Amino acid sequence: MKLEDPATIRMLWVVSLVVLAVLVAADAAVEHHPHFGVDGGFAFHAWYGFAVCAGMVLVSKFVVGLLLKRRDTYYDD
């Protein structure tokens, strides 16, 4: 079983999604003690983590990319 096999990749996706679904469903069984109003909602940590990760990708792509970007003619003579 190699990691780059399509069957292995599919199995990893399925296992990851099942673990994610179980963890989000287990959130219903946990008593929450919110410090702010919104953090007591169902699956807060799942959607907040996804939003922060997507935000970091966008910031790194656009903001940091603008700071580190070279001109198209950088390697020309």
Whole-angstrom Cα distance, residue 53 to residue 65?
A: 17
Whole-angstrom Cα distance, residue 52 to residue 74?
A: 34
Domain boundaries, the chain: 6-68
Task: Take residue 49 and report the two structure tokens written for it.
Answer: 């983590």
Task: Take residue 40 and report the two structure tokens written for it.
Answer: 């007591």
- Taking alpha carbons only, the member of 25, 22, 55 closest to residue 43 is 25
Mean residue pLDDT of the chain comes to 90
Give the model confidence (pLDDT) of 32-60 as tens digits. 899 998 888 888 989 999 999 999 999 99
Whole-angstrom Cα distance, residue 19 to residue 26?
A: 10
pLDDT of 73 reads 84
Task: Take residue 72 and report the two structure tokens written for it.
Answer: 């198209």
Confidence of residue 71 (pLDDT cuts 50, 70, 90): confident
pLDDT of 55 reads 96
